């Protein structure tokens, strides 16, 4: 299954199941929604380079983070954004190795 469609399905499942009733006790639907979110975070953790380079994947993830913030799910938004940024930074570090400026000599004339 392509990564983008998996992200869309998990996002849809989370949205559909996270609507809970007035009860103060966690419902099975809410537990299933949290489970879907947990799986989505694991999918983000296992993204590979071609997924991270895909603008549609990045847009889907940032759009979902925005939805979470708008709906008041700040802790979930932070968790997903943190995991996404970790993967993005790892990808960027592999693509552009850090230069060691201590070994460069400056010649003055």
pLDDT tens-digit map of 3-49: 999 999 999 999 998 876 555 556 888 889 999 999 999 999 998 88
pLDDT at residue 97 greater than cutoff 90: no
Residue 19 confidence (pLDDT): 78
Residue 102 lies inside a defined structural domain of this protein: no
pLDDT at residue 106 greater than cutoff 80: no
Residue 11 confidence (pLDDT): 94
Closest by CA to 29, choosing from 39, 16, 38, 10, is 16
Closest by CA to 80, choosing from 59, 64, 58, 60, is 64
User: Alpha-carbon distance 8 to 106, whole Å?
Assistant: 52
pLDDT at residue 105 greater than cutoff 80: no
The 10 Å Cβ neighbour count of residue 90 is: 13
Residue 11 lies inside a defined structural domain of this protein: yes
Lowest mean pLDDT, pick from 21-30, 48-57, 84-93: 21-30
Residue 82 confidence (pLDDT): 95
Question: Number of folded domains in the chain?
Answer: 1
Domain that holds residue 70: 3-19+27-96
Residue 95 confidence (pLDDT): 74
Residue 103 lies inside a defined structural domain of this protein: no
Beta carbons of 37 and 76 less than 8 angstroms apart: yes
List, in order, residues 6 or more apart from 18 with CB less than 8 Å away: 29, 30, 33, 73
Residue 104 lies inside a defined structural domain of this protein: no
């Amino acid at each position: 299954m392509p990564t983008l469609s998996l992200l869309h399905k998990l996002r849809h499942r989370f949205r559909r199941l996270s609507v809970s009733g007035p009860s103060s006790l966690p419902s099975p639907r809410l537990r299933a929604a949290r489970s879907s979110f947990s799986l989505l975070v694991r999918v983000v953790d296992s993204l590979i380079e071609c997924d991270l380079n895909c603008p549609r994947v990045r847009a889907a993830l940032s759009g979902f983070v925005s939805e979470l913030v708008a709906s008041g799910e700040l802790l979930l938004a932070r968790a997903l954004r943190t995991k996404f940024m970790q993967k993005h930074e790892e990808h960027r570090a592999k693509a552009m190795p850090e230069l060691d400026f201590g070994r460069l000599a400056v010649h003055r004339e």
